[in-house]
Amino acid sequence: MEKTLIIMNPAAKGEKALRFRKKLTEIVGDTEIRLTSFAGEAGKIAADAVAAGYTKIVAAGGDGTVNEVVNGVGESGVGLGIFPIGTMNVLAAELGLPIKDLAVCWQIIQEGRQRWIDLPRANDRYFVQLAGVGLDAQVVQETDLGFRKNFGPLSYVVSLAQIAARKPPLLTVHTPDGETREGSFVLVGNGRYYGGPFHVFGKAAIDDGYLDVLVFKDLGVLDIVRYTQSLLFGNLSKMADVDYFQTPSLKVTSEGTVPVQVDGEVLFDAPVEFSLAREKLSVFVPR
């Protein structure tokens, strides 16, 4: 018997959260909806649902909620659906889901057309789209939550400018073939996109058995300006001081303390090992 559970992160508080819940209920009818109340709870709810025999688990939220649910589902084979109602919905964009049409997303989930995609891991944590060692993790870590709420994306720009003025860290990337590369910032992706609509990994596919890696050699203020311009124009991986390659696994070590972000959440510091389980996550996709 098919059983579906929707796990919703009511990141929006008060009236806005109530409107989201009402809209979802109108679309899904009497399908069970569970609301999360603290960080990490979505993963526990998802793991309990897998154990209870649910066949479809739906993450209603942004990439952080999807990440938590994926860590609960793991390699169980239970189908993952997505209601993209968060600030960032990069995996939804990767899968071709209609970001603003929740009714169509529900139709896709009900139709049950599945695609098996790769499931990457940073140490013991699964992720679905992207991890970063260094700069972007530092920006997330050092941007005050209250400042973010008041100033939005501008708050990250302020943190970025402050970080760029410091001496960049030295990171070493180790690959299974014994080769090493050095840089100041590393991005590891499982798909094409970074931070929303930006296409940064030119060869990436979410079911090709490879992680896509960018190693940035320089990290001064002018370098960051150049990288940002290339990010906007979609040619970041072609820059002379950016090393782009694909690998099934890698390890990143650092001199000093360097944070690691996984799907937008800072979880630990380097060293970090990245690996990939080939086609182990089932997701519902449009025809």
Could you tell me the two tokens for 147?
């400042």
Mean pLDDT, residues 194-200 taken together: 78
Of 173, 175, 139, whose CA–CA distance to 157 is shortest? 139
Sorted by where each starts, the structural domains of the chain and their CATH numbers stand as: 4-112 (3.40.50.10330), 130-278 (2.60.200.40)
Count of CA atoms in the C-beta half-sphere (13 A) of 147: 13
Please determine, for residue 157, whether its predicted confidence score (pLDDT) is greater than 70: no
- Residue 142: the pLDDT is 77
Rounded CA gap, 270 and 2, in Å? 42
- Residue 49: the pLDDT is 98
The percent of residues in the chain predicted with pLDDT above 70, rounded, is 91
More confident residue, 89 or 81: 81
- Residue 218: the pLDDT is 83
Length of the chain: 287
- Residue 18: the pLDDT is 74
What does pLDDT average to over the chain? 89
- Residue 145: the pLDDT is 64
What is the CB neighbour count within 10 angstroms for residue 259? 23
- Residue 88: the pLDDT is 76
> What DSSP element (H or E) covers 95?
helix 90-95
Please determine, for residue 221, whether its predicted confidence score (pLDDT) is greater than 90: no
Mean pLDDT highest for which of 84-98, 130-144, 256-270?
256-270
More confident residue, 155 or 60: 60
- Residue 77: the pLDDT is 95
Please determine, for residue 151, whether its predicted confidence score (pLDDT) is greater than 60: no
Could you tell me the two tokens for 20?
């989201």
Could you tell me the two tokens for 177?
């073939």
3-state secondary structure of 134: coil
Rounded CA gap, 271 and 103, in Å? 43
- Residue 20: the pLDDT is 79
Cβ atoms of residues 176 and 247 within 8 Å:
yes
Mean pLDDT, residues 152-170 taken together: 71
How big is the CA angle at 141 (ends 35 and 20), to the nearest 5 degrees? 25
131 burial level (CB within 10 Å; 0-12, 13-18, 19+): buried
What is the CB neighbour count within 10 angstroms for residue 229? 12
- Banded model confidence at residue 155, pLDDT cuts 50, 70, 90: low
Instruction: Look at the block and give the residue holding tokens 């990767």.
Output: 94
Cβ atoms of residues 59 and 80 within 8 Å:
yes
Which pTM value belongs to this model? 0.89
Please determine, for residue 150, whether its predicted confidence score (pLDDT) is greater than 70: no
- Banded model confidence at residue 95, pLDDT cuts 50, 70, 90: very high
Cβ atoms of residues 194 and 237 within 8 Å:
no
Cβ atoms of residues 215 and 181 within 8 Å:
yes
Cβ atoms of residues 42 and 35 within 8 Å:
no
3-state secondary structure of 124: coil
How big is the CA angle at 137 (ends 133 and 140), to the nearest 5 degrees? 175
The percent of residues in the chain predicted with pLDDT above 90, rounded, is 62
Non-local (6+) Cβ contacts of 124 within 8 A are: none
- Banded model confidence at residue 202, pLDDT cuts 50, 70, 90: confident
- Residue 16: the pLDDT is 66
